[in-house]
Every structure is written in structure tokens, then in C-alpha cells.
Structure 1
């Protein structure tokens, strides 16, 4: 039996399958008789010494996490600065780790979380503290470097493609006397992966969605208006899917909400669909409807991709294996090994090649005119949304999700002022 405690924390926006990763982490560690603590609200819980004893949860509850969306232990958007600028916080983390005999730290998040795990591993080495830090991939934006795809993306992609296809059928039915243009806003600050996934809803110039707008291509309003008008005149209606992060040629966000920046340094975005809808109505005179699915994209566990669920579980189990094997500053990443049929495996990759790097849509995935996806993109995306993994439903017709007890561990250190 390995000696020590494993600490697991969730970071950033949660996904439909992040709890499946947590479930795999806890079950894998229990099988090795390793105690697992979870930080309440991510890295904040570690800094505040607000830790949860997962051993107090029955195995049935831990298993039920695999079909429960949200973040079972809470998450947060907090990015630690450099080791020099946030030295006190990093040293506090080590104090908490020492106090609870934490020898393995698993941080489940995206680019910034990989950076934090990497810095913690370096500080532990500086202080000669035996600690294995493993980043665990998660993000609906699919923008992590190295990994073929990110757990969380496949389910959000499936939700997007399904929602756009269904909405398009509604628009088509009403277009003769009602809505001519429908605008759907997809998450994607700098990378258009979710907007690209919407392209799976149709195939061919006349099938919705007709126009996709990507952050990777500058937004030209006049050209966009021309494409909308041409589509309506040809098809009878036009379905548009826009990434929230589309920019004009000068680099400005089309929908900067004016809310400043969050702790990750990200501009607060919002309203690109409503903005485009208003502009189309004013410029072209069409009746327009729009949708902002927002959190629905990442929380829709009822329409999760089976592939995504399997990958979320696999990276959680692999993270425990890597940590207990003494692997440090690594992340379990997904490697595509076959296309027909689709095959994949999990392999370790150094955090130094992932931290603070961003994977955008390859040029070869975007149609030459900039408003759609290519066959190459379709071959990449389609396997990621395959398969159904519905949660169990109760007699009330609603999914049966689990709520953990989240019993706190007794604190051993003085309060820490953030």
C-alpha cells in the first residue's frame, strides 16, 4: 500500500463529464488503498485548507458521479501567477500538502491549470518535498495542446450539433411566413472547435448550418451580410453558428461585454448572437431569432457522447497510475491511433509542452471561403460525438444525479489570507 494522500482538485468551467474523471480517480485510488482528498472549489480549497474526505462517500455515490454533470467538489477561476509573484501562495500549498501528507496532486483543468501544476511541481522540487503533480485534461473548448481532443469537448460538441439540427428543422418549417435567419452562439474564445462541431448537423451548401463564424478568421460584416442574403434567397432561410470569440480584422472582439477581465486574464464576452441578429435585422430587414445556450453547452449530461465519457474516465484512471508510479509534471493525453474504425489510447505528455499553450482550428479544417468545415474536419470531429451514454431517469421523468456529502477534513493550519 503506497504511503501518503492523493489530493484532487477541479479547475475552471466544469463539463458534462468532469465528474466521470473524478469518479475514475477516486475508484482507481481506492483500489490501491490510497486515501483521496478533494479540494473544495478547486485551488482555493487547497489554499484555504478546505479539503473533503472522499472516503466518507459510499462507492455507489462515487460511481454515480460518472453520470452526474457539474463539479462535485466545486471549481473556481483562479490562476496563480509566477512562482516569484505568488510565492506566498505556492508555499502555502506546500504547507497544506505537508500537513495532510499529500504526496500526489491531480489538477483537473485546462491550459492554465496545467501551468499551475507544473509550477507546484517545481516548487516541491526546490524544497525537496516528495510530490508528484499530474495535470488532468478537461475543457469544452478543445484547445489543449498535444492531446488529440479534450474530455468534455465531445459531449459539448454533440449537444451543439444536435441542438443546431433540431433548431434548423424548426426554422425551416416557419421560414415562409416567419423567421428567415437564426443565429446560434457557441462557446470558443480563441478557438472555433464548438462552432465547427455544429457543422456536423448538416452536409452540403443548402443544409443547415449554412454559415459558421470562427475566431480563427477575421469577421467581415459586409461579406457576412452578402452570404446571409444569398442563402436566404437560395434556400429560404439561413442558420448561422458563431463562436463567442469572433474578431474583426483589427483584432477587437465583436461581442466584448465590457466586463473587464477575469482572474485568468480573459476578456468577458457575451452577446455575439444577439449582436449579429440585430445587425442582420437592421441591414437586411429579415425577421431574426437567436440563441445563447451558454452553460447548457457544457452541462448537458443527458446528451453526452459515449466516446467523451470513456475518455474522461480513462484519463482519470491513467492520472492515478502515473502519479503512483512517481511520474511528475505530466498529463495523460488522448492519442488517436486509428480512423476507420476510430481508435485511441492514453499516453503521458510533459506539462511543459501543454501549459499556457492553445490549440486553434487548423487551416485545413476551415472551408476555403471561411464559413464552413472541410471533410478533414468532419473526419476528426465525427468520432468524438459518437455513442450515447444517458443517465438513469427516475419516475418523475428527470435524470437521477448524485449529491455528495462532502465531509470536510479537520484543519491543521492557521487561516491564510488570499
Structure 2
């Protein structure tokens, strides 16, 4: 058995397949006979020394993680600043790692998490502590640099495309005497990947979604309303997909939830669909409905993409391999080698090339009129939502998801006062 312990932590907003990554990490570590602790509620649990001993989990529980949504060990939104600004937190974290003989740290998250893992590796080097830090990719926004796609996105994209297609059929059926316009809000602060995925729901100008609003393009209300009205007059109804992060020409968000900023310093968004629906009703007079899927987009494990599940587990296994091989400050990434048939493999990239680098959609993925996706976007997106990976169902008709015990190991340090 390799000397030392591996610490795994989940970060930020969870996905439908982050637990698939966790399952793969635990299974790979068990094969290598490495003990794994899991931080309860992510980096916050590590700071508080709230660590779950995963050796107490049964093989069945570990395998069931692969089809269970949410974050099985808990996650949190806690951004650590620079080592200089947050040195006390970093040193506390390092003390916890040392106290539990943690020699490998796997941080499963997005851009900010990659940055944290990189900084922890640098601090460990400063103190001469032998620690290998590996970032593990996760985000439904698909905005991580270097990797072709990000585990979590494919399933959220599949949910989005399916939901828009189903809602479009409903709207078309009722348009004669009821709803004329339907607005669907997709997550995406700066990158319109999920909004673009909605474009897979239909093909051609007469199939929904009829209009997609991307954060990469300035929002023009007058133009938007004119386009909606034109579609209604041509087809009798109009389905709109709007990214939550669309902005006016001056850079301000079209809709702001008014909730201030989150732990990462981001404005709390949400509500763009209701805002647009109100404008359509007030200006055009059309009956309108809107939807804010919100958490549904990232938790819909019942509609996960098989491709996404396979990639989520692949990066988990690769992360363990990287850690045990001593590949410090890296992240396993997905490399696409062919669109059709879709082919991919996992490679390794330095965290320095991932951390705080945001990947927005290529210009060639947005249609010339700014309100739809191109053939290139379809070639990129379609394989990511391919295949079904349904969870097992039980007699009550619900998925058989696992809930893990959250008991933590005995603390070895004084309580954290941070």
C-alpha cells in the first residue's frame, strides 16, 4: 500500500455526474490500496477538519455514486484568494493535510477550484511538504480552458435540448387559443454553451428554438421583440431560449436577481426569462409563459448523457493515476480526436493553463444573425449528449439514489476559528 492518504473534495455548483467522478476516484484508489478521505462540504470541510473516511463505504455504495446526482460529500462556494491575502486559510489547510498524512489532494471543480489547487501545491512546495495536487474538471457551463468539454456539461446540455423540444411541442399544440411565446432560461454567465445546446432540439428556421440569446452577443430589445413578433406571425408561436448572462450593449446584465454577489464575487443572476416574458406581453400583447429550470439543469441524473457519465468517470480514474504518479499541479482533460464517429481520450494539462482562463464559444458556433447555432456547433455538441445512462429505478417508480453517511474522523487539530 502506498504511504499516505488521498483527500478528495467537491467544489462549487454540483452536476448530474460529479458523483460519477467521485465513484471512479474511490474505485481507482481502492484498486491501488490507497485510503481516501473526503472533505465534507468541500474546501470548507477541509479547513474545519471535517473529513469522511470513505473506507467505511461498501462497494455497493461506491458504485451507486455513479448514478446519483448532487454532491455526495457536500460542496461549497468558498473562494480562497491569493496566498498573500488568505495565507492563514492556506496554512490551516496545509496543517490539516499534514495532520492526516494527506499526500495527494484531488479538487473536483471549475476555474476557481483549479486556481485553489494550484495555490495549495505552491504553498506545499514553499513549506517543503510532499503533496501532489490534481484538479479534476467539473462544470455545467463548459467554460474550462484546454479541455475539449467538461464533465457535467453533456448531461445538462441533454436536459436542456430535451426539455426545449418537449416544451416546444406543448406550445405548438396550444398556440391557437393560448400561449404564443415561451421563454426558457439557460444557465451561462459569460459563455452560452447551454443556450447553444438548446439549438439541438430542432433544425431549420421553423423548428424550436426559434431564437437563442447568447451572452457573447449584446442584447438589443427592439430587435428581439421584432423577431419574436415576426416568428409568431409566420408560425403562430415562438420559442425563445435565453442565457441568464445576456447583457445590454453597455455591458450590464439584462436581468439581475438582486441578490448581491456570491462567494466567488459573481453577481447573483436569474430572472432573465421572466423579464423577457414581461416585455413580450407588455409590448407585443402575446400570451407568454416562461421557465427557469435553475437547479434542474444540473441535477437531472435521470436524463444524463452516457458520453458525459463515461467522461466524468474517466477523469476521476485519470486523476488518481496522475496523483500517484506524482504529476503535481495538473488536471486531466478531454481531447477530441474525431467528430463522427465521436472519439476522445484523456490527457493531462498544467493547472496554470486552466486556472482562471474562461472558454467562451467560438464565433463560428453562433449563426450569422446571432440567434441560432451553426453546423459546426452541431458537430461539436451532438456527441456530448449522445447515449442514455439511466439510473436504476425502485418499486415506487423513483430512481434508486444513494445517500452516504457523513460521519467524520476524529479531529487532530484545534477547531478552526476562521
- TM (normalized to structure 1)? 1.00
1:85-143 residue CA offsets vs partner (Å, 9 max, x unmatched): 00000001110011000000000000000000000000000001000000000000000
Instruction: Quote the residue 2:199 is aligned against.
Output: 199
1:155 paired with 2:155, answer: yes
SS, match of residue 166 in structure 2: helix
Tell whether the 8 Å contact from 1:56 to 1:407 is kept in structure 2 after alignment. no
1:287-366 to 2 correspondences below 5 Å: 287-366=287-366
1:265-313 residue CA offsets vs partner (Å, 9 max, x unmatched): 1000110000000000001000000000000000000000000000000
Instruction: Quote the residue 1:226 is aligned against.
Output: 226
1:14-413 to 2 correspondences below 5 Å: 14-413=14-413
Q: Distance in 2 between matches of 1:112 and 1:399?
A: 32
Tell whether the 8 Å contact from 1:10 to 1:75 is kept in structure 2 after alignment. yes
Q: Distance in 1 between matches of 2:109 and 2:417?
A: 24
Tell whether the 8 Å contact from 1:54 to 1:407 is kept in structure 2 after alignment. no
SS, match of residue 105 in structure 1: strand
SS, match of residue 133 in structure 1: strand
1:34-78 residue CA offsets vs partner (Å, 9 max, x unmatched): 000000000000000000000000010000000000000000000
Q: Distance in 1 between matches of 2:101 and 2:33?
A: 15
Q: Distance in 1 between matches of 2:128 and 2:108?
A: 24
Q: Distance in 1 between matches of 2:258 and 2:383?
A: 37
Runs of 4+ in 1 over 4 A off after TM superposition: none
SS, match of residue 27 in structure 2: helix
Note the C-alpha offset of 1:230: 0.7
1:150-200 residue CA offsets vs partner (Å, 9 max, x unmatched): 000000000000000000000000001110000000000110000000000
Unaligned runs of 5+ in 2: none
Tell whether the 8 Å contact from 1:255 to 1:271 is kept in structure 2 after alignment. yes
SS, match of residue 22 in structure 1: helix
Tell whether the 8 Å contact from 1:54 to 1:406 is kept in structure 2 after alignment. no
Q: Distance in 1 between matches of 2:101 and 2:280?
A: 59
Q: Distance in 1 between matches of 2:277 and 2:240?
A: 10
Note the C-alpha offset of 1:407: 2.7
Q: Distance in 2 between matches of 1:313 and 1:400?
A: 19
Instruction: Quote the residue 1:11 is aligned against.
Output: 11
Matched residue pairs, number?
418
Q: Distance in 1 between matches of 2:373 and 2:110?
A: 25
SS, match of residue 400 in structure 2: coil
Tell whether the 8 Å contact from 1:8 to 1:39 is kept in structure 2 after alignment. yes
1:307-326 residue CA offsets vs partner (Å, 9 max, x unmatched): 00000000000000000000
Q: Distance in 1 between matches of 2:340 and 2:81?
A: 44
Note the C-alpha offset of 1:260: 1.1
Note the C-alpha offset of 1:417: 1.3
Q: Distance in 1 between matches of 2:136 and 2:49?
A: 21
1:357-389 residue CA offsets vs partner (Å, 9 max, x unmatched): 110111000001100000000000000000000
Note the C-alpha offset of 1:406: 2.6
Unaligned runs of 5+ in 1: none
Q: Distance in 2 between matches of 1:180 and 1:50?
A: 52
SS, match of residue 199 in structure 1: helix
Q: Distance in 1 between matches of 2:405 and 2:39?
A: 14
Tell whether the 8 Å contact from 1:182 to 1:240 is kept in structure 2 after alignment. yes
Q: Distance in 1 between matches of 2:84 and 2:252?
A: 32
Q: Distance in 2 between matches of 1:367 and 1:227?
A: 15
